[in-house]
Structure 1
């Protein structure tokens, strides 16, 4: 069984998207500035931003005044969108039908006509997880942070020269 485990790229992407949501549409922000703002390596963060751009979550503006900005409202970017962009869309659990091996190998074939109960249970749990991620947006996170850390937006905007 594979555990649902996400790499740091998802966390980094979510923090950067929150930053971009606070900064608004003023100017695109360079990878170097975003990386410095979170004390992250630019090259790795750039890979995450490129994945977000391919998914239509951010847009990239080339050139000396280029950088990244949200390509759509924060209210339409779900956590599932971000996870899928960074981690891919492959199922976390993959049933290999081990019930048909070992002691199960001697059972009649009709025993396996019904779906594997373990696989079905894991699939239901994964779908619930995906639905929960799809129900939350970057705007929801921004609103929560604004309530519990109201100074975070002001400090972030000041750090980026706004």
Structure 2
């Protein structure tokens, strides 16, 4: 199975956003720069993550992206499905029922064994991704990565995060 480069980019961006302060954001252009990607290419995947409610998009000159929920509540499966779609990677076309040696449809009452095996593998793959939380990936990176890598990545986030002004809540009418 081959996942598109967009999955890797999406996971890295979500991991980066797990490191922003409070409800600050990072622009899509900054994330594209960090990973050497085309901004328009990355924007497509950031939009997919936003549609899936993994990220929030904040408009305006100081806008950007931030996680829509805590990293502990985002799995790698969430991100993969947002980018690649919910369809299984293997789609049985029932080719056993085509060609010059095909039989009447009544000969194919049993499910295709290849399809059964591939769907079983898909379930196992998705279950493993569902167990992998973004917060665990970030924590493992912070404990195992070269300190230089951590320092340069933290400095990048610090330099590019955009603090968001907290909107004052409407005044409560006094009870008189």
The TM-score normalised by the length of structure 1 is: 0.88
> Given the alignment, which residue of 52, 57, 66 partners 2:63?
66
CA change 1:123–1:32 in 2 (3 A) is same
- Aligned 8 A contact 1:9 1:48 in 2: yes
| Counterpart residue number, 2:126 | 130
| Counterpart residue number, 1:83 | 80
SS of alignment partner, residue 92 of structure 1: coil
Cα deviation for residue 88 of structure 1 reads 0.7
> Given the alignment, which residue of 138, 141, 146 partners 1:142?
138
- Aligned 8 A contact 1:49 1:58 in 2: yes
CA distance in 1, matches of 2:105, 2:28: 56
Residue correspondence of structure 1 range 1-162 to structure 2 within 5 A: 4-102=1-99, 104-106=101-103, 109-149=105-145, 151=147, 152-161=149-158
Q: Output one character per residue of 1:91-148: Cα deviation in whole Å (capped at 9) or x when no partner.
A: 1111122222346524x65431111111111110111111111110111111111121
Q: Unaligned stretches of 5+ in structure 1? A: none
The TM-score normalised by the length of structure 2 is: 0.82
SS of alignment partner, residue 95 of structure 1: coil
SS of alignment partner, residue 66 of structure 2: strand
**Higher-helix-fraction structure:** 1
How many pairs were matched up? 158
Q: CA RMSD in A?
A: 1.8
Cα deviation for residue 54 of structure 1 reads 0.3
CA distance in 2, matches of 1:120, 1:149: 39
CA distance in 2, matches of 1:15, 1:9: 10
